[in-house]
Copies of this chain bind each other. A is one copy, B any other.
Amino acid sequence: MGEEVKVFGAWASPFSRKVELALRLKGVPYDYIEEDLNNKSSLLLQYNSVHKKVPVLLHNGKSIAESIVILEYIEETWKTYPILPQDPNDKAMARFWINFIDGKCSSAIRKVAFSPEEEREKAVEEACECLKTLESALNGKKFFGGDTIGMVDIVALFIAFWLRPFQEIMGLELLSSEKFPNLFKWTDDFVSCSIVKELLPPRDKLVAHIKAHLSK
């Protein structure tokens, strides 16, 4: 009997793409269910009654919510193509960066979008400080995972693809090849991988979506 693997996501959300990317890297077939975030399905609300958000992973009738929690579950359930290092110290270091990207770095970038005009400069400074830390974390590696894509790269997907249209729309420069050459090269290398490229939304459609979102 085949496994039931379903992802409830939204096309413009980097969070659901992260879950899909992990499944694809591991070669796990899944069904994708697109949610209308303005009119969420009763299934989504049932499966993630606490946060009421995408993504949700449904595996053989059991639901898991929150992208990082889902990624850890995927890593433990399907052993093909490990996305976390095996060595406990390296694994802790990967989780440290996941925590940094998903927490401090992601909040700092969100703050740039939603802080009032007079606080924007400080917000940009803080976001750049986070990117600078990531630049040094790459430390000459092609990916955060080393030679191949790992969970840190997956979690940083929004920096690799969402950040550039976002900063263009905002008329700001957070990430550039001059400021953070390693991180900039990483974004190019990462989104050029065919497995990643196939998953990304069309740029024009995303730009229109972000513009609409920011003007709300």
Contact = CB atoms under 8 A, between A and B. Distances in A.
Interface of A: 50-51, 62, 64-66, 68-70, 72-73, 76-77, 88-89, 91-93, 95-96, 99-100, 103-104, 133
Nearest to A93: B64
B77 A62 contact: no
11 contacts: A50-B133, A64-B89, A64-B92, A64-B93, A65-B96, A66-B99, A69-B95, A69-B96, A72-B91, A73-B92, A76-B88
A70 B133 CA distance: 20
Contacts of A73: 88-89, 91-92
A133 B62 CA distance: 20
B62 A89 contact: yes
A163 to B, nearest CB: 20
